[in-house]
Amino acid sequence: MIKKDIEKLDSFNTLPAGVQIKETGEAESQKELFTGFAIAMAIGIFCIFGVLLLLFNQVLQSFTILMALPLSIGGAFVGLLINGIAFVNRWGICWLINYQ
């Protein structure tokens, strides 16, 4: 939020020659963390697809099962919302996803 406000300032957009903006400290750590998380998620999804491909020997069926997971997560949240159970109930979410 503050970064966006700073970027709107005229003095920020007209920096002298040789002056650079460099993110350091917490911003740099957070950027590295999110990059690593995105890479880990992509590798994880690829590995799950590989296991499904080995189990079913069909690309279409493996892809269909893999694409059903985000829909089941949404259904689990709706089920918890309808029943009035708190979203922090992780066991409830796991059970709803597994039983769909």
Higher local confidence (pLDDT), 75 or 92: 75
Are 66 and 82 in contact by the 8 Å Cβ rule? The answer is no
9, part of any domain: no
pTM over 0.85: no
Domain that holds residue 85: 25-98
Q: How many domains would you assign to the chain?
A: 1
Is residue 21 helix, strand or coil?
coil
| Assigned domain for 33 exists | yes
CA pair distance 73, 98, nearest whole angstrom: 10
Contact 95, 79 (CB under 8 A): no
In a domain, 29, yes or no: yes
| Confidence band, pLDDT 50/70/90 cuts, at residue 96 | low
Q: Find where tokens 């159970």 sit.
A: 85
DSSP 88: T
* Cα Rg, the chain, nearest whole Å: 22
